[in-house]
Structure 1
Amino acid sequence: MKKRLIAMLLAGAMCASIAGCSTGTGSTGTESGDESAGSDGAQYHISVVLKTLAAEYWQFVEAGVNAYAEEHPDEVSVEVKGPPSETSFQEQLNMIQTDLGDDTYDGYIISPLQQDMVANLIADTEKPVIALDTDIESDKVLSFVGTGNEAAAKLGAVAAVEAAKEAGWENIQCIEIAGVQGDSTNTARMNGYKAGIEEAGGDFLEDEVQYADATATRAVDAMNGIISRHPEGIAIICANNDDMAIAAAKAARDSGNENYANTIFLGFNGDRAACEAIIAGNLTMSVAQMAYEMGYKSVEAMVQALNGEEIDPVIDSGSEVVTPENAEARLATLDEQLGG
């Protein structure tokens, strides 16, 4: 505690010596609080390590994290960072390890790239940890804040069946272009798609799931294979992410097979690119993750935990289905969240 007080006093002196202290931005992330992050006397100082800051999705998570801190400057300050990409495994582990050894932090919010490795790193910490977006199997984790992937996918699948009916399909079959086989998030979304399609009266062709490693290039190959096997058309193609769904829809258009003209292409993420594709008619719908809300809720939960309050072990940040009817409104919301 004494070290932290001294650090805060020194940081305060530094702020007084320059022309004001404002939100700092570096190559690894941002600090946010009042006019100076982590050095303005906020009650708690939190480390937030994301999977990366280079992708749009994580920029929305970061915006939500900073928004809570900016709304509660006397309560919490945050330092957000992330490696250059979601394959920079060692760089993220180094960031986490460094912050775990920093006595100025009161808690840690982590989006792990390697769950097992992160679980090992946090095994000896006595400070609270919250897992964000991807869970960490560790007794040190107080709560997981993220999308309920199965429930969200089910919501999208039900909407896709209704859209297929409106498009004139009588035999409503669905084939999924999936992500990485064995990945827990992919499995949860697949289970949700299957449950939603069948609950709404459709037929999920489980034996024809196409694994495309979450990449658009492989999704094109998968879609071409589907068209070859089903020249009569398939009512619904659902995908593990928007990039694959958009690529699959383009492959169907490029094929010239008119039996796919009314196919419902369902993606997952609901980011800016997906909204624009829906507005342009290049994607039918997407299940939107609430990345901004995810970041916001993670800091809110951490503050509650540090205040001694009980928090739920799982906090669902929510989801919604983006369609041509609400895509423009969703896009406007995304622009507002990033300050656009």
Structure 2
Amino acid sequence: LISFADARGRLRRLRVVAVDRASVSAEAASGAYVEPGVHLRVRRGATMIHEEDLGALPALEEPLLLAVGDILLVTTGAVPGRPARRDDAGRVIAPASIPCTLPEVFREVLPGERIWFDDGKLGGVVRAATADVLTVAITAGRDGGVRLRSDKGINLPDSTLTLPCLSPQDRQDLGFARRHADLVGLSFVRHPGDVAELVGLLGAGPRRPGIILKIETPQAFAALPAILLAGLAAGPLGVMVARGDLAVEVGFARLAEVQEEILWLSEAAHLPVIWGTQVLETLAKKGIATRAEVTDAAMSVRAECVMLNKGPHIVAAVRFLADVLGRMRAHQAKKSTLLRRLAVSRQG
């Protein structure tokens, strides 16, 4: 039994349930707030067997709360992000900052261009750009602010980026994928040369994996016919309508039109399509679907495959989706309406 007074001075007890060479697992009936220096007492039965102060604790990630009107610095390097620093009167004396793991983009971003974070949850405009810092004015976000956490995506829809589609690590990993994978997904493809490079690295032969082209940028959409032709010449091919980044890049209002045209072009090329991003996400995560999600799931019948995200209710989401698609297949085949007899109609 481990006993201690937590950071609030409340007595807490932990019961040891497992021990191995590197760690001890213990359970508590009540929550506890601990900090370095909390004194721990370990008892076995009625005998005290050990006492020690708690050492340093691992750093806890804290999200940055950002709202419309705030200034955010996007920096190069691996320096952790930090919240804005304020004086005693609450005035900002140093804006919040976050790092970007692709320093190459800093030389290609210009003032006045838009920037989006976390799949479009937070947006802004670049006010100043240097070789190592982008100064961003936050212009879009929900009321009350947005909590921005680490490892979230950054989109630059107005910037002309010349980054290679495949990183050095990607090229190294493709050797393993060629031997063991059935499919390789190509993210942020922009032009036919990206596809040709991947095909060349995968090589030829019957064991070569198929390719899934993730269409998620305006450049890819504009060059889609040529991109599809480059892929068709190489072997098994599919298309993913990656609606998360695609919506941020082309604008939410235009997403519906763009995904329709991707479906048309893919059908004309006789290519299977994956309908992805946030399909029945509320159901998978919280246990009940929204009305808009049900309509979106019904629209996905025009693709050959639907991608669901993980969640505690994923089994229910799969069953619900199967039910919706089973009904919709009688009404729709790809982009063609079947004009079946309506359930409310009567014979005679």
Mark yes or no: TM-score above 0.5.
no
Larger radius of gyration: 2
- Which has the larger share of strand? 2
TM-score by length of 2: 0.29
TM-score by length of 1: 0.29
